Amino acid sequence: MTLAILGGTGPQGQGLALRFARAGVPVAIGSRDAARAAEIAAELTAKLPEGSAAISGHDTDGAVAAAEDMVILSVPWAGHNATLEALKDKLAGKILIDIVVPLAADDPKKVDMPPEGSATEAAQAILGPEIPVIGALHNVSAVTLRTLEWDINCDVLVCGNSLEARKKVMALVSKLGVTAYNAGGAEAARCIEALTSILIRINISKAVPFTHAGIRIWAPDH
């Protein structure tokens, strides 16, 4: 049941690797630089409590090959499409979990969406209809993920055109102790990805008392 995390040497990828490994899910982190991936895997392993699953380091193709059925894409937006073009043939039979947010290059408080509408929709267009793309985990702060003693203060909105794949990803995400919600088809990623830029604005703003903001779905207090 190994999970691949591409871009697993970045802050978000490292945080997810730690959280999933601690939750018992073996993680194969992938990077263009396999030596760097192995180094980061060793560093992360040293931070894990006993009883955690293993974190291993690979080049990108190796991480994809190691994945049982799910691959998280956690690269910077600038490398999103090129990474997927290169991997297209190797992802057959797997679910791609896209956590990438198309932040504007000059202002992370804004998004600069691709013509497809969102990163998730762009990924689906590149991979074609046979490989389900699921958008998830966009709104969780990397700092929060990497600080294992904090609870994750964020619900996870999960979207994508395959309901079956959405359900599998919701079950995976739930292992992190967070609540995952079915947010509908891939178009919902236009909202979910953009929410990250709003959270970044709130974090940067001097008007609010906290950083690493997340979102929660909340019921009336009654």
149 sits near its own copies (criterion: CB under 8 A): yes
Query: 18 and 48 in contact (C-beta within 8 Å)?
Result: yes
Tell me how far, at minimum, the Cβ of 160 lies from its own copies, in Å: 13
DSSP strand pairing (180-182 vs 156-158): parallel
**Dihedrals phi, psi of 156, to nearest 5 degrees:** -120, 120
Q: Which window, 17-25, 71-79, 128-136, 213-221, contacts its own copies (CB under 8 A)? A: 213-221
| Length of the chain in terms of residues written | 222
User: CB-wise, 95 or 183, nearer to its own copies?
Assistant: 183
User: CB-wise, 130 or 221, nearer to its own copies?
Assistant: 221
Answer left, alpha or beta for residue 24, where phi above 0 means left and psi between -120 and 50 means alpha. Answer: left
Q: Could you say which residues in the range 95-134 bind its own copies, by CB under 8 A? A: 109-110
Tell me how far, at minimum, the Cβ of 145 lies from its own copies, in Å: 11
Per-residue mark of binding to its own copies, 181-210 (x: CB under 8 A): xxxxx-xx-xxx-xx-xxx-xx--x-xxxx
Q: Which residues of 159-173 are buried (b: 16+ CB within 10 A; e: fewer)?
A: bbbbeebbebbbebb
Residues β-bridged to residue 98:
73, 135
Task: Provide the binding-site residues for its own copies, judged by CB under 8 A.
Answer: 109-110, 141, 144, 147, 149-151, 153-154, 157, 181-185, 187-188, 190-192, 194-195, 197-199, 201-202, 205, 207-222
